[in-house]
Amino acid sequence: MFLPDCHSVRWQEFCYICGMTWNSIKTFLLLSTLTVLLVVIGRLAGGPVGMTIALIMAAGMNLVAYFFGHKIILWQYRAQPLPEREYKWLYDMTRRLTQRAGMPMPKLYLIPEAQPNAFATGPSPSQGIVAFTAGLLQNMNQQEIEGVLAHELAHIKNRDMLTMTIAATIVGAITWLVDMMRWSIFFRSGRDREDNGLSLVLAIVIGIVAALAATLIQLAISRAREYEADRTAALMVGSPDGLISALAKLQQLTQLIPMEHANTATAHLFIANPFGKAGDFLINLFSTHPPIPKRIAKLQELRGLGRQYRLA
């Protein structure tokens, strides 16, 4: 029986190619699970009509956030356009990476925060925005900044804002349905509640479990997209070293330097959790970001593959 040499460059390339698609497959499976969960809870709560109403309401709210949320986020973090004359090296770096990736040039912004961090936003690749904190530009060298920039460009290229909007829409619809189910039970007559006591309790439990499961799936999708952005960034640059070094710094500095205007609702946008959280399995399960040591370990596996793969 033939057993491959797991240390050969060819075998590492084969494993890497398989790994390239795993995060995308994982995202698809998680979104599919969310959809199935929505259908099940919709049937229990209000049938097809109730499910449709909840989906429309959640979609409306999230579409507004998708198309206009970037303006609110930039305002919230007091972000200002980066002057190209002062940061010509960063604009040149961005042009080089976007040309290599075959994507439009994004707008670059500066956030007046001491904590090193960055995020990408915008409703489409043609309207992409990358924002850096002042702390990141001050505390990192150009190789590390290139790794961070490539990670954020990867989010734009992979349309992760759209993916997370779809996930948020489905989770929002499920939450609406669970609330609808709770209120319908509350307003039932006393006799109905007595006659169907066990069924009502079961419905409440199912609703709570479904809402929790939907949130956990949404967080898992967010973590999968972070891994995929790391992978795409390494391909874009041609080496994972800059991003590895940047993540190592981020792990330390996000815990030492607080972000004054950090908001839990936007924490998932940043390359590293702005609250600097790191902990055990339970904390990681409810985190928008994978643990940085795991991200670094996955990036280290990409070293020495012998050639750069063409970006899709």
As annotated, the active-site residues are: 152
Rounded Cα gap, residues 91 and 70, in angstroms: 21
Please report the sign of the dihedral spanned by the C-alpha atoms of residue 274, residue 251, residue 110, residue 146: negative
283's CB contacts (< 8 A; 6+ apart) are: 277
Exposed, middle or buried: residue 143 (CB in 10 Å: 0-12, 13-18, 19+)? middle
Q: By three-state DSSP, how is residue 84 classified?
A: coil
Question: Are 76 and 266 in contact, with CB atoms under 8 Å apart?
Answer: yes
Exposed, middle or buried: residue 134 (CB in 10 Å: 0-12, 13-18, 19+)? middle
Rounded Cα gap, residues 148 and 171, in angstroms: 29
CA nearest to 73, candidates 24, 118, 15: 118
Q: By three-state DSSP, how is residue 302 classified?
A: coil
Report DSSP state, residue 258. Answer: -
Beta-carbon-side half-sphere exposure of residue 256 (alpha carbons within 13 Å): 9
Angle at 149 between CA 145 and CA 152, to 5 degrees: 145
